[in-house]
Amino acid sequence: MTVAQTDSGREGADGEGGMAGADDAYTPSQRRIERERHKRARARRATAIAALSTLVTAAVLYLVVVDAPGWPRTKETFFSAQYAREAFPKVLDGLWLNIRLLFVCGAAVLVLGMLIAIARTLRGPVFFPLRVLAAAYTDFFRGLPLIINLMIVVLGVPALRLQGVTVDPVLLGGTALTLTYAAYVAEVFRAGIESVHPSQRAAARSLGLTNRQALRYVVLPQAVRRQVPPLLNDLVSLQKDTGLVSIGGAIDAVRAADIIVGRSLNYTPYIVAGLLFVALTIPMTRFTDWVTARMDRQRAQGGIL
């Protein structure tokens, strides 16, 4: 065997030993294996306890409700399968109106709320009247109960008999919803705008941007990104409150259920309408929670300014 072959064999052995050492470096220790096994066992135990406690709680609630003296009458009045089957398709058709109101009013609320928030944050004495009007708008419609606003708009506007003004309860109800929720959303946007540090605007101005450009390209993107969770919460509330347009006679899910209840004197259609609203709200709520958790993680990692 030559010296080169000997050296080569030694280098190969060293390489194999290095690779083996690298593999050994990634082998978890016995203590870590035990720790991971303990964590998994603790997670399984916690899951089992949570499931057991949930079952016990559900069983107790079921027994309390079923053993109540008035349960048979309540079951017949509120949980009738016959009236549920009758009401479901009609209530579902009415829910389509609520969904359309949610999308149209939601878009209008975001635009109007943004404009009001910008008006409230404008600087300079020349904009003082605009700031006062924006503040008065938000104070008035945030303080006015939504149901009263709906009655005033839906019932009061047609009574004026104005030429060229619609009397459609759907349009009037959507207008009332937009007016009220725009005030809430404006405060959300304003909080986001004011949360941006003044140095951001100053840096933008030092780079040659005008006040309008600094607001558009620097301040507003950060403000909107920070306020996404509360904005989504407002949209969830708007989705539920679209059912209030029924006070003007619009045939939405609530009104469709009310018509059946008035004819049958059975309140099961209300339960059907409520469950449909819940089924529509839960995905939006879970999406809001996911966005909030994601933004919290990014903020903890320094990903959000």
Structure tokens at 263: 């004819």
pLDDT above 70: residue 155: yes
**Terminal CA-CA length for the chain:** 67
pLDDT at 18 over 80: no
Q: Are residues 43 and 94 in the same domain?
A: no
| Domain C-terminal end among 18, 35, 66 | 66
pLDDT at 24: 53
Q: Are both 16 and 114 inside the same structural domain?
A: no
**In angstroms, rounded to a whole number, what is the distance separating the alpha carbons of residues 145 and 152?**
11
How much is the pTM? 0.76
CATH number of the CATH domain containing 282: 1.10.3720.10
pLDDT of residue 13: 47
Phi, psi of 127 (to 5 degrees): -95, 10
Same domain as 158, residue 37: no
What are the contacts of 153-156 at 24+ separation with CB within 8 A?
153/179, 154/245, 154/247, 154/248, 155/248
Whether residue 259 is contained in a domain is answered as yes
What is the arithmetic mean of pLDDT over 45-66?
90
Instruction: For residues 138-164, give the mean pLDDT.
Output: 90
Q: Report the chain's mean pLDDT, rounded to a whole number.
A: 85
**What's the average model confidence in pLDDT over 104-110?**
94
* Domain contains 74: no
- Residue 230 located in a structural domain: yes
Count the domains in the chain: 2
* Helix-then-strand count for the chain, H and E: 14, 0
Q: Residue 145: give the domain boundaries.
A: 81-300
**Averaged pLDDT for residues 152-177:** 89
For residue 69, is pLDDT > 60?
A: yes
